[in-house]
Structure 1
Amino acid sequence: MLFAILFNLAGLGLFCWLLYALAVDALAFFAALSIALAAFDAGAGIVGAVALALIAGVGVLTTMRIGIAATRSCPVRLAITLIYAIPAGVAGYQLSDVFAGLGGASGAWRDAMAFLGALAVAAAARARLQAPPPAPAK
């Protein structure tokens, strides 16, 4: 019984981590999902839709990172960061609102927790977008 409880908690923790990781990359995930659904509807099949989705998701992330790295203008960097962080904040708000509702919080506390979750996810998205690339392995 103890192992079942521990595995259940570990699975719940993994599920929460996965949802928040997807919320941080909400813009790329949305672009990939939209392209996949459009390609599948056009008759590309499952393999073609998944391939196009991967290309679209990686393309959005790469475009944003190149845009941040290529410009030194603060307003342009702020605009790129906001384009990437606002969808992440909205996804973080929705996710935190659902989790706060599952915990049985009242309306005001639920909104406060959702707002804090939105700020945390948007800040994580901004930090991930502006992080330097990892050093190559030696």
Structure 2
Amino acid sequence: MLAFGLVLNILGIGLFCWVIFALAVYALPLFVALSAGILAYRHGAGVFGALLIGIASGTLTLAAGQLAVALSRSLILRVVIGAAFAVPAAIAGYHVVFGLSQIGVPSLAWREVFASLGAVCIGGTAWTRLTVFAETRPSESAVMVENAPEPVLRAAAHEP
């Protein structure tokens, strides 16, 4: 029975970590959704209206961020948008890992180390998931190589 409990604990912790990494990219849209929903509720939209406004604003934030990263040609703009999504995820990851490390790590210094590593990992995961739709743009040298003349043997092989 003890072994069964240990296996279930390990599976539960693994599931919790998977959920943290899967939801990391949604930290900024969740913040926007909560802020818009609370603002709408305070201004008389009611519970149902505030819920709809919150869901719509969070969805639009995520879609606009992914679309802007995917269509942007400017590297600086991509970095700014990626940082806007990755920094809240890293902060959330820091606090989650710090809270979990209080369970089994007695040293404050090691808790800070683990929390910092968790922040980097979860922030990097959010950055990666946001930029997954971004198309890599060829550099200027790659464009020049594309327009280079074909080698003689390849050109001769295609002739009838």
TM-score over 0.5 for the pair: yes
TM-score scaled to structure 1, two decimals? 0.82
Deviation at 1:89, TM superposition (A): 0.6
* Equivalence for 2:105: 104
Provide the residue aligned with 1:136 in structure 2: none
Runs of 5+ consecutive residues of structure 1 not aligned to the other structure: 134-138
Cα shift at 1:42:
2.3
**Residues 72-115 of structure 1, C-alpha deviations (whole Å, 9 max, x = no match):** 11111111111111111111111111011122331110001000
Give the conservation status (yes or no) of the 8 Å contact 1:22–1:29. no
Matched, 1:113 2:111: no
Structure 1 outlier segments of 4+, above 6 Å? none
TM-score (norm 2): 0.72
- CA root-mean-square deviation: 2.3
Q: CA deviation at 1:13?
A: 4.3
Q: For residues 50 and 114 of structure 1, do their structure 2 counterparts lie closer, same or farther at Cα, with a shift above 3 Å needed?
A: same
Identical amino acids, percent of aligned pairs:
38
Q: Which has the larger radius of gyration?
A: 2
Q: 1:55 and 2:56 equivalent?
A: yes
What does 1:4-83 align with in structure 2 at a 5 Å threshold? 5=5, 10-11=11-12, 13-83=14-84
Structure 2 unaligned residues grouped into runs of 5+ = 135-160
Distance between the aligned counterparts of 2:24 and 2:107, measured in 1? 24
